[in-house]
Every structure is written in structure tokens, then in C-alpha cells.
């Protein structure tokens, strides 16, 4: 345990000796030194430089030295018992006592004189010369001077008989105990302050704090660097400049938080200042100063971290959706209104119409745009794996489960948005689990029992007729209504032919087609007014990409060459589609043939088992198979079976 150091400035040697004995008995660290009043200030300052935490002195000396020190001082008070003890030393025959009090220290001694039947003259002085002048008014043969070291020495020079007013052991001990408490308290306070200063110096942004008197109490190393100052003492000399840059004066006036952008010595900073309130009283204020470049870098790193995990929507907005047809404009208007709410949205539309583009645009215009986002294709992940991905799993819940388990997407994107594409492909079991999320706003991990509350907005999409699937019993009706609180239907491209050219123009810009060649491509596309666009915008994109790639080597690109290449692409595409249809028909025949073969094998196996039963007649076997006797005989011949 670190102990504190106590100093003692003694006006007479015996006081120092007594104090050292008491301190040793108590286990205190005491440095005691005798010093006349003239040397008291110098001795006390030397003790402070040596690391003393508190100084003890007699009342007069303590009053003299305390204004010259930065450490606490504790007086050894003179009590009436000390005065009585000194008077008794003077002899009972003496009836006139001068009680000299240096620095105007007053003692109520009237009762003492009355009790002892003597006359006590209480005098006070601030300087040696003043004291010398006062004593000349007294008869040295009739009066005895009782006082401290200075009082007695001056009186003796004038021929007075003197008695040293000494402090009792109890008074010395009491003063030392108080000094130890004060020093210990100051030491603890200093230690805590150093701990706080060490902590705030580790913070990368500047910290400035002031007390209720606007004195700067905290000024960390970053603040020193930004303000080009060192330490709170230096900062106090530039207080007005610091208070102006941090707005702390206004904070203490209106007791409100303030945030502003400032420039401190050429550095752009973001300053956040708050009042320090306790028991409804303003005790000061504190400011945190963030360098703008570091804040930007931090935000960039956070964005990169989130992007690397795929937990943010793509930078799509409704402005990226090209087209001015009435149907598209109406759809965008409806989507913007949906974005302002927090309800579930079901986006329907043919493949290639831009359902995901609408989903990202909705999220980027919603109140959850700054929160996590993830898009899941329900058709691309096996059902059992999708369950673990969506809801997470506990350790040991299945073979291959990670140690410690794993959080699911619903837990990861808490307060954010999840986009479930191809929602119509979701298995029936998973539909039930998803229903719990939409109704109860909670999940249970695979293999777990703990209920985890989640706040996630669900946007789903499908290119299938979901209501028809509900009618077929392959999709839960209750989940369908939960997911389609808001319904957004994306019109196909063939229903908005007027948007083909604007979309094509935008795509050609993306493909970096020269401005001089762009119109040739657009003229060729303009001729496709009756084209069905079954692949919608995706088909248009593919067609344009092929067209640009196949004509990119032409030295002198012409409208006729573009048109000819476009016709070749379309003809090839139609032939490819015809081949796919033929292939689909062949596959259908193969599937039917395979199914027929499997049926024959099952039927033959059943007949063998029935024929093996000797007690069954042919009529009974036919009845069991559900056929006539003639049909049964034909099947027996077909499978080459007989009894």
C-alpha cells in the first residue's frame, strides 16, 4: 500500500520531536523541520518540491504559509488547556499575562483568566515590527508574555519574562490524523484523476471538459494536438478560444446537446458537446472532437465490412428504373409509397421484369436503409440447408454443424430487411416456420429451444401465380396473406413497348457504344414492335449484348449491317427455342416410358405373389387385381406367367 507523505513546519524544536514520536507510533511518513517564522515559507515550499502531500503547522504559521503552497495545510490549534498549562509554568504569584497571537489568531481566554483570578491581555499582530511596538506599551516588570517562538523571542529582546506556549500531544496527534486523512483523500483523488487521464488519452478523438466555473478540467492528448496546446494549465490561458470552438458556453446555458462542424488550426472536425447534469444542476460540460477525415474513413471501413458480408442493398434507386409508360410510372409511384411503410411486400412479375431492382430501390428509400439487408433465392438452396441459413442452428444440431452453432439471416439482419426471391419454391415445412416470424416476430434456431425476438421486414418475390399455388394446396394460405399485405405487380415489357427504346438506349450507354453508332442500334430495335419479349428486360439485354459484340469489329457500321445481324440473332434464338421445345417433348416421352416400365414391373411382381398362393383361384386373383378374367389372362401372357 502506498502511504502519503506529511510535512511539519515547527516553530520550536520540541514540537518537531513530539510529532515525530507520534507519527512513528502511528506508522505515518512524517518529515518535520524546525523553522522560525521568517524561514517558514521557504521551508514549506522546499517540502512541497520534495513531494510532501500535506503540511502541518501551528495556527499562525499555517495561516502564513498556506497562500504560498499548492498542497493542503492543516493547523495545530491552540486550545485553552495549552494556555492554562503555559500560565501555570509562569508561577501562580504572577497576576498579569500577555497572550501574544501571531497573525491575528484569536482565543477565547476571558473565562480562563476569570477562573485563575488573573488578568490576561490578549494581543494580536501581523508583523514583527507591529508586535514590537505593542509590547513597548507594557511594563516588562509587571507582565509575562505567553506565546509562540516568535512572540517569546521578540519579548525577550525587550526584557520581558516569557513562557513558550506549547501544543499538547493530543493537539499534535489530532492535527496529524487530519493531515493523513486529507492527504490520503487527495492521493486517491489524484490517482483516480490519473486513471481517468490515462483512459481519455487512449481515446483517438479529443476530449475537453469544463466545470461549472468554465475551468478546463480535462484536456486529453488528442485535444492538445488539435489545439496545439499542452496541458490544462496552458489550455486555461486559451479558454475563450477553446470554449468558442467546442460551443461549451452555449451548452451550459441551454443544457442541451450540440453538434457542429468546426475547423481547428486547419483541421476539419466534428464536435459533439453535452452538459454535465447532476440533481438538476449544471456542473459543467464535455466535448468530444472527431477529426472529419477519420470519421469518413471509419464509416468507409464499416461500409466495406458490411458490403463484404453482403449485408447491404445494392445502390439501386427508383431513378435507375428506366421507362415512362403509364403502367411503369404507376408501379413506381405505388412502390415509393410502400417504401415509407414497414409492412411486408409481395412483388410479382414475369422473369426478367426487374423484381429485384424494385426490391433494392424500396429498401434504399425506406427507414431501414441504414440497417442490414440480405437477399436469398429460395429456389437456389436445398430446403434443409435453407432452414439452417434462415433461422440458424445450435451446436451439434446436425452432422457438420459448426462448433458453437451459427446465427441465421433473420437474427443477423435484426432491424433490417430480408428479400426472399422465388418465394413460391419454399417447402411446406419452411412455410410454417416463416409464418411464425411474420406473426410472432421471433425465431427458434434449428436444434434450439430458446425463442429469439427479431425485427425484420420481409420483401418477397415470385414469377409464379402464387394465389393459384395456394388453391392447389402447395402454399399456405395464411402465409400468403401475411406476405402480401402490400402487393406490387411489375408489368411485362410487351405491355409497355414504349419503354423498349429508352431501356435499350440506357443499356447501350452501359455497353459504352459510341454516340455515332448508338442510333443505328436503336433504329434496328425500333423495328421489333411486334416482338413478344417473353424474357422481358433480361431478354432485351441479352439481345443487345450479342448485337454489340457481333458488330463491334465492323470498320464502317451501317444500319443495314446492324439490322442483318439482329435478324440472324433472332432467327437463331427462335431455332434454339424450337429445339428446346422438341427436347422437352422427347424428355416427356422418356419420362412416360420410364413410368410405364416401372408400373409393369410392379404389376408383374404383384401377380407372382398372388399366383404363389395355392388356395387362390384365378377368379379370386382377377377380383383382387380389379380386372376381368380375360384381362388377367392377357397380363399373364404378357409377363410370361402361369401356375
Cα–Cα nearest to 73, from 101, 104, 102, 40: 40
Q: How far apart, in whole angstroms, are the C-alpha atoms of residue 71 and residue 55?
A: 8
* 259 vs 567: CA distance, rounded Å: 63
Q: Which of 439, 463, 443 is nearest to 451 (CA)?
A: 443
Q: Return the pLDDT at 579.
A: 39
Question: Which three three-digit cell numbers place residue 412?
Answer: 443477423
Mean pLDDT score of the chain, rounded to an integer? 83
Instruction: Give the CA dihedral 394, 399, 400, 403, nearest 10 degrees.
Output: 40
Give the tens place of pLDDT for each residue, 469-507. Answer: 898 888 999 999 999 999 999 999 989 988 888 998 898
Domain ranges in the chain? 5-181, 203-294, 318-490, 494-579, 613-638
Q: pLDDT tens digit string along 80-115?
A: 777 888 877 776 556 788 888 877 665 667 777 777
Whether the model pTM is above 0.95: no
Beta strands in 485-548 (DSSP E): 486-489
508 touches 548 (CB < 8 A): yes
Mean pLDDT of 420-429: 91
Q: Which residue has the higher pLDDT, 494 or 197?
A: 494
- The CATH class of the 5-181 domain is alpha beta
In words, the CATH class of domain 318-490 is alpha beta
pLDDT of residue 556: 61
Same topology, domains 5-181 and 318-490? Answer is yes
Q: What is the DSSP string of 25-55?
A: HHT-EEEEEE--HHHHHHHHHHHHHTT-SEE
Phi and psi at 463, nearest 5°, equal: -105, 10
- pLDDT tier at 199, thresholds 50, 70, 90: confident
CATH assignment of 203-294, among 3.40.50.10490, 3.90.550.10, 3.30.450.20, 3.60.21.10:
3.30.450.20
> Which letter does DSSP use for residue 425 in this model?
G
Largest CA distance in the chain: 164
Amino acid at each position: 500500500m502506498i502511504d502519503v507523505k506529511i510535512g511539519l513546519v515547527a516553530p520550536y524544536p520540541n514540537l518537531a520531536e513530539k510529532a515525530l514520536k507520534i507519527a512513528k507510533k502511528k506508522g505515518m511518513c512524517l518529515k518535520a523541520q524546525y523553522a522560525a517564522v521568517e524561514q517558514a515559507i521557504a521551508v514549506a515550499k522546499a517540502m512541497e518540491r520534495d513531494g510532501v502531500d500535506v503540511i502541518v503547522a501551528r495556527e499562525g504559521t499555517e495561516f502564513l504559509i498556506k497562500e504560498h503552497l499548492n498542497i493542503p495545510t492543516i493547523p495545530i490549534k491552540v486550545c485553552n488547556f495549552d494556555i492554562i498549562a503555559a500560565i501555570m509554568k509562569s508561577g501562580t504569584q504572577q497576576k498579569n499575562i500577555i497572550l501574544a497571537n501571531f497573525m491575528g489568531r484569536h482565543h477565547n481566554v476571558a473565562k480562563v483568566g476569570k477562573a485563575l483570578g488573573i488578568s490576561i491581555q490578549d494581543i494580536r499582530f501581523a508583523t514583527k515590527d507591529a508586535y514590537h511596538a505593542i509590547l513597548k506599551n507594557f511594563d516588562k516588570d509587571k507582565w509575562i508574555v505567553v506565546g509562540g517562538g516568535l512572540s517569546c523571542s521578540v519579548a525577550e529582546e525587550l526584557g520581558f519574562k516569557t513562557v513558550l506556549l506549547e501544543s499538547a500531544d493530543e493537539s499534535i496527534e489530532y492535527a496529524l490524523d487530519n493531515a493523513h486523512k486529507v492527504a490520503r483523500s487527495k492521493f486517491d483523488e489524484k490517482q483516480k484523476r490519473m486513471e481517468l487521464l490515462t483512459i481519455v488519452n487512449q481515446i483517438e478523438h479529443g476530449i475537453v471538459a469544463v466545470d461549472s466555473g468554465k475551468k478546463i478540467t480535462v484536456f486529453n492528448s488528442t485535444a492538445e494536438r488539435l489545439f496545439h496546446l499542452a496541458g490544462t494549465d496552458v489550455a486555461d490561458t486559451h479558454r475563450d478560444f477553446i470554449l468558442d470552438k467546442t460551443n461549451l458556453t452555449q451548452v451550459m446555458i441551454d443544457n442541451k446537446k450540440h453538434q457542429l462542424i468546426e475547423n481547428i488550426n486547419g483541421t476539419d472536425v466534428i464536435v459533439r458537446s453535452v452538459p454535465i447534469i447532476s440533481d438538476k444542476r449544471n456542473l459543467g460540460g464535455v466535448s468530444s472532437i472527431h477529426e472529419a477525415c477519420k470519421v469518413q474513413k471509419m464509416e468507409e471501413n464499416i461500409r466495406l465490412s458490411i458490403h463484404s458480408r453482403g449485408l447491404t442493398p445494392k445502390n439501386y434507386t427508383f431513378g435507375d428504373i428506366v421507362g415512362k409508360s403509364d403502367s411503369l410510372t404507376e408501379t413506381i409511384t405505388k412502390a415509393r409509397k410502400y417504401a415509407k411503410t414497414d409492412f411486408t411486400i409481395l412483388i410479382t412479375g414475369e422473369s426478367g421484369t426487374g423484381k429485384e431492382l424494385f426490391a433494392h430501390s424500396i429498401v434504399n428509400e425506406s427507414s431501414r436503409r441504414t440497417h442490414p439487408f440480405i437477399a436469398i433465392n429460395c429456389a437456389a438452396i436445398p430446403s434443409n440447408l435453407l432452414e439452417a441459413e434462415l433461422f440458424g442452428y445450435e451446436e451439434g444440431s446436425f452432422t457438420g454443424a459448426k462448433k458453437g452453432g451459427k446465427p441465421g439471416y433473420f437474427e443477423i439482419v435484426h432491424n433490417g430487411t430480408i428479400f426472399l426471391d422465388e418465394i413460391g419454391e419454399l417447402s411446406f415445412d419452411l412455410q410454417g416456420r416463416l409464418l411464425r416470424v411474420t406473426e410472432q416476430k421471433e425465431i427458434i434456431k434449428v436444434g434450439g429451444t430458446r425463442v429469439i425476438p427479431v425485427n425484420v421486414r420481409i420483401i418477397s418475390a415470385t414469377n409464379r401465380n402464387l394465389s393459384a399455388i395456394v388453391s392447389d394446396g402447395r402454399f399456405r394460405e395464411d402465409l400468403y396473406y401475411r406476405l402480401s399485405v402490400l402487393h406490387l405487380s411489375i408489368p411485362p415489357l410487351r405491355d409497355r413497348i414504349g419503354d423498349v427504346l429508352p431501356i435499350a438506349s440506357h443499356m447501350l450507354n452501359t455497353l459504352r457504344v459510341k454516340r455515332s453508332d448508338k442510333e443505328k442500334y436503336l433504329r434496328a430495335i425500333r423495328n421489333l414492335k411486334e416482338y413478344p419479349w417473353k424474357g422481358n428486360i433480361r431478354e432485351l439485354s441479352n439481345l443487345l449484348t450479342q448485337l454489340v459484340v457481333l458488330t463491334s469489329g465492323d470498320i464502317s457500321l451501317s444500319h443495314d449491317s446492324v439490322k442483318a445481324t439482329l435478324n440472324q440473332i433472332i432467327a437463331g434464338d427462335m431455332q434454339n427455342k424450337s429445339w428446346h421445345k422438341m427436347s422437352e417433348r422427347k424428355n416427356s416421352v422418356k419420362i412416360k416410358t420410364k413410368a410405364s416400365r416401372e408400373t409393369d414391373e410392379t404389376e408383374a411382381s404383384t401377380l407372382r405373389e398372388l399366383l404363389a398362393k395355392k388356395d387362390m383361384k384365378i377368379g379370386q386373383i382377377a377380383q383382387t387385381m380389379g380386372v376381368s378374367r380375360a384381362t388377367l389372362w392377357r397380363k399373364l401372357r404378357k409377363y410370361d406367367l402361369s401356375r
